[in-house]
Amino acid sequence: MTRETRAVISPAALRHNLGVAHRAAPDSRVMAVIKSNGYGHGLLRAARALRHADAFGVTCMEEAVPLREAGYAHPILLLEGLFDISELELARRYRLDMLVHSDWQVRMLETARPGRPLSVWLKVDSGMHRLGFAPGDVAAVCRRLADTAAVNDNIRFVTHLACADDRDDDSTTARQVDVFSACLRDLQGDRSIANSAGVLGWPITHADWIRPGVMLYGVDPFIDERSERPQLRPAMTLSSPLIAITQCAAGDFVGYGATWTCPEDMPVGVVAIGYGDGYPRHAGNGTPVLVNGRETQMVGRVSMDMITIDLRGLLDEVSIGDRVTLWGEGLPVERVAAHAGTIGYELLCGVTTRVHMEVERQDNEDGPGTDAV
């Protein structure tokens, strides 16, 4: 028998969430962002389920090349562009679109050896102050790129939103959209602004291409407290079996550092998952978990390979081997993240290779064999 710590990926959920993005921005094309190993779901697994997107967005060659080699003909955009001139031939060979965010990248292209011209997306810094050209420089950079033999005529424009996750902050996003639009006023070419929060919360950001990431995996991108929440389905359900039940007495402590003291006599369950699997060590007492679909809480510290949970009121219904869900179906990862001082993105990306990844089987167009990738 092996340790049954599992992450089950649902292609149906990924497809559903892609549909939500598409319906939210029906006039825009969709670039599905599958960087960082498909937000932890597996690059090729995510690509397969999201293949009806119009394009894919990734961070680097290590993510782009396997997509092409797997046979995807979609435009694939390298969201940070080339890191080095040595990547130029690969970009040509694999027909990759590249983002251009800095003057050194423009110079690199200007001095490139002759070859097939590449599609370029020019990154505008509309206020986030991370990557991109200052709005005042965009027209000149665009002219230089247009005069560069290594770049084709179809120059497109992209910017990134800093605060779209807060629907109550209506000034920052609107200002970014204004800055972006104003500096492109006299320039032709597709525009792209929206991340997931832009797609779902800010129609003014939809433009020609949307770039949803985290919402495709079923994570609500908003940090605000509004009651209307997007109808997304978690694409990863992380679970592990209960491997021990300990009867504790009032006053007993549980786990490293004795951070939980039993307020009464109580059963404590031990679940075979810990920070060695990517469960966040900073999740504290009270972090929700589901046992056979019933919600209870973690007690005590997260160990490398185990966590301990409160089984008060559940003893009649649980036995060794029952599955405990850490996040996913019935328990959004963002709730767990909030207890660990982080965001759903980080938890999804952080699941380690020790966890068995499986694709949910289903009777649909994918048919059997979906678990191949």
Ligand X SMILES: *Cc1c(COP(=O)(O)O)cnc(C)c1O
C-beta of 223: minimal distance to ligand X in Å? 11
* Distance separating alpha carbons of residues 288 and 298, to the nearest angstrom: 6
Is residue 35 annotated as part of the catalytic site, yes or no?
A: yes
Is residue 123 annotated as part of the catalytic site, yes or no?
A: no
**According to CB under 6 A, which one of 127, 221, 284, 332 is a site residue for ligand X?**
221
**Using the rule CB under 6 A, is 46 a contact of ligand X?**
no
C-beta of 4: minimal distance to ligand X in Å? 30
Kindly identify the residues of this chain, within the stretch 55-94, that bind ligand X according to CB under 6 A: 79
Nearest alpha-carbon partner for 133 in 97, 115, 106: 106
Asked whether 349 and 37 are in contact (CB, 8 A), the reply is: yes
C-beta of 20: minimal distance to ligand X in Å? 12
* Distance separating alpha carbons of residues 269 and 267, to the nearest angstrom: 7
Number of residues interacting with ligand X: please give it, by CB under 6 A. 12
Judged by CB under 6 A, the stretch of 178-186, 213-221, 285-293, 305-313 that binds ligand X is 213-221
C-beta of 57: minimal distance to ligand X in Å? 6
* Distance separating alpha carbons of residues 350 and 354, to the nearest angstrom: 11
* Distance separating alpha carbons of residues 363 and 352, to the nearest angstrom: 29
From residue 283, give the alpha-carbon distance in Å to each of 3, 82, 169, 301.
22, 37, 28, 8
Judged by CB under 6 A, the stretch of 19-27, 62-70, 208-216, 295-303 that binds ligand X is 208-216
Residue matched to tokens 């130029």: 88
**According to CB under 6 A, which one of 33, 242, 331, 348 is a site residue for ligand X?**
33
C-beta of 45: minimal distance to ligand X in Å? 17
* Distance separating alpha carbons of residues 295 and 336, to the nearest angstrom: 12
**Using the rule CB under 6 A, is 280 a contact of ligand X?**
no
**According to CB under 6 A, which one of 18, 155, 214, 299 is a site residue for ligand X?**
214
Judged by CB under 6 A, the stretch of 11-19, 65-73, 214-222, 360-368 that binds ligand X is 214-222
Beta bridge partners of 245: 269
What is the radius of gyration, based on Cα positions, of the chain? 23
**Using the rule CB under 6 A, is 206 a contact of ligand X?**
no
**According to CB under 6 A, which one of 212, 255, 280, 284 is a site residue for ligand X?**
212
How many Cβ atoms from other residues are within 10 Å of residue 142's Cβ?
A: 23
Task: Give 285's DSSP letter.
Answer: T
C-beta of 59: minimal distance to ligand X in Å? 7
CA angle in degrees (0–180, nearest 5) for 189-194-196: 150
**Using the rule CB under 6 A, is 211 a contact of ligand X?**
yes
C-beta of 103: minimal distance to ligand X in Å? 19
Nearer to ligand X, 33 or 112 (CB): 33
Asked whether 274 and 304 are in contact (CB, 8 A), the reply is: yes
Among residues 39, 72, 123, 256, the one annotated as catalytic is 256
Judged by CB under 6 A, the stretch of 14-22, 212-220, 274-282, 328-336 that binds ligand X is 212-220
* Distance separating alpha carbons of residues 308 and 299, to the nearest angstrom: 6
* Distance separating alpha carbons of residues 281 and 211, to the nearest angstrom: 31
CA torsion sign, 105 to 106 to 111 to 113?
Answer: positive
Site string for ligand X, 136-165 (x = CB under 6 A): ------------------------x-----
Q: Which residues bind ligand X (CB under 6 A)?
A: 33, 35, 79, 160, 195-196, 211-215, 221
Catalytic residues: 35, 256
